[in-house]
């Protein structure tokens, strides 16, 4: 290259080429790569210009250098402008695709909840705990003595047929009722006694309302001057807390070998309030538990003087109360672990 006109023409041609090529660049990454190629000192359209300095006659060197710098500055500005434009467009696309609609309803986070049986047991424990009852942990494997004999159900007593029993051996069995705990408590503690004892019980029984394994909660109060009135008073508090303030109780005569008198406790139907509906089978009342005044012979058998002390006892079926309260019509729903059922009950 010998004259400046020639140089100017060459630089104009390079500019035109770059301008044409820039039109085809559509993203910022390509701008970066294109710029690198152009400015590359070995082969780049602009980068290589400086290499040619040695071939330029001395008197032209200064002017040559100036022109090369000019085109460099020009190209740099072009690249920056295009880069800025494309980056802005790219950010707009990104923002658009990542846009969050804050008005959308939140995704429901799935949280676990306690099993309905556990919820009901906890409620019962809270209610009776607030009335001053202690908790007694009974045992699931019992002897024939604690489950039957000490509860005034000797061998060959017809009441044994009331509860189909799983025997483990002639002596040991799976307890059929938490009442067996009454005997342990009365043997271990002196009156005043005021305990509840929730736990599993087992009977060979299986239909829509019975399961071979279910849960009961025993209640036992032994002190001077305890009567059936105390029982009803405590049960009133319990049913009103579980089924509603206006729920009433009714005691009907019944029979249990270990209580005398024995009663069956009904609650006024919390669904129809006495008018009669399917739940209460048109009677206005629903049977909820068995109870009674502790049989004197049971107290005496545990070394408690029945001329000084008296007691009341009750046995609540926890599944039964849960089924009534939560409207569950088959006890199997409480044992099948079907989340469609269990998720609905969160008290
Ligand atoms: N244990 C009796 C049952 O399982 C219920 C009960 C408990 C009755 C305490 C009276 C007193 O049927």
For residue 59, report the distance from its CA to the centre of ligand 1, in Å. Answer: 120
Taking the centre of ligand 1 as the mean of its atom positions, its distance from the CA of residue 144, in whole angstroms, is 16
Q: CA separation (Å) from 161 to 14, 153, 156, 167, 212?
A: 108, 10, 9, 13, 15
Residue nearest ligand 1's atom 7 by CA: 315
Residue 311 has what pLDDT? 98
In the chain, CATH 3.30.930.10 sits at 116-342
Residue nearest to atom 12 of ligand 1 (CA): 290
**CATH 3.40.50.1820 describes domain 116-342:** no
Measure 284 CA to ligand 1 centroid, in angstroms: 23
Q: What is the pTM of this model?
A: 0.71
pLDDT, tens digit only, all 347 positions of the chain: 557 788 888 889 999 999 999 999 999 999 999 999 998 878 888 888 888 888 888 888 888 889 889 999 999 999 999 999 999 999 999 998 998 888 999 888 888 889 999 999 999 999 999 999 999 999 999 999 999 999 999 888 877 776 789 999 989 999 999 999 999 999 999 999 999 999 999 999 888 888 999 999 999 999 999 999 999 999 999 999 999 999 999 999 999 999 999 999 999 998 898 888 888 999 999 999 999 999 999 999 999 999 999 999 999 999 999 999 998 989 999 999 898 888 888 87
Q: Which residues line ligand 1 (CB under 6 A)?
A: 177, 179, 256, 259, 290-292, 313-315
315 CA to centre of ligand 1 in angstroms: 4
The residue whose CB lies within 8 Å of the most ligand 1 atoms, and thus the one to mutate among 176, 179, 215, is 179
Taking the centre of ligand 1 as the mean of its atom positions, its distance from the CA of residue 150, in whole angstroms, is 14
Q: Tell me which residue has its CA closest to atom 5 in ligand 1.
A: 315
């Amino acid at each position: 290259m010998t004259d400046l006109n020639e140089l100017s023409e060459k630089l104009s041609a390079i500019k035109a080429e770059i301008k044409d090529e820039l039109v085809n660049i559509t993203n910022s990454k390509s701008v970066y790569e294109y710029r690198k190629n152009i400015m590359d000192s070995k082969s780049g359209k602009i980068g290589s210009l400086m290499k040619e300095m040695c071939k330029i006659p001395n008197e032209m060197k200064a002017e040559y250098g100036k022109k090369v710098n000019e085109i460099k500055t020009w190209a740099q500005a072009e690249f920056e402008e295009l880069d800025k434009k494309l980056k802005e467009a790219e950010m707009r696309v990104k923002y658009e695709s990542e846009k969050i609609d804050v008005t959308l309803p939140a995704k429901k986070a799935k949280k676990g909840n306690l099993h309905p049986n556990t919820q009901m047991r906890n409620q019962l424990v809270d209610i009776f705990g607030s009335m001053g009852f202690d908790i007694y942990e009974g045992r699931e494997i019992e002897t024939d003595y604690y489950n039957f004999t000490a509860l005034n159900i000797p061998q060959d007593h017809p009441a044994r047929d009331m509860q189909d029993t799983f025997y483990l051996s002639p002596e040991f069995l799976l307890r059929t009722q938490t009442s067996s705990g009454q005997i342990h408590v009365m043997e271990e503690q002196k009156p005043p006694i005021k305990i509840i004892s929730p736990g599993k019980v087992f009977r060979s029984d299986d239909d829509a309302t019975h399961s071979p394994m279910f849960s009961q909660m025993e209640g036992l109060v032994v002190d001077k001057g305890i009567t059936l009135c105390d029982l009803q008073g405590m049960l009133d508090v319990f049913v009103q807390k579980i089924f509603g303030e206006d729920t009433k109780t009714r005691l009907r005569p019944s029979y249990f070998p270990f209580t005398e008198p024995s009663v069956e406790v009904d609650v006024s139907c919390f669904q129809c309030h006495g008018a009669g509906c399917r739940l209460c089978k048109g009677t206005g009342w629903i049977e909820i538990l068995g109870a009674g005044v502790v049989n004197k012979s049971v107290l005496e058998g545990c070394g408690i003087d029945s001329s000084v002390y008296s007691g009341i006892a009750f046995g609540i079926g926890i599944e039964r109360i849960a089924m009534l309260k939560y409207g569950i019509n088959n006890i199997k729903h409480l044992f099948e672990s079907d989340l469609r059922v269990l998720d609905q009950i969160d008290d």
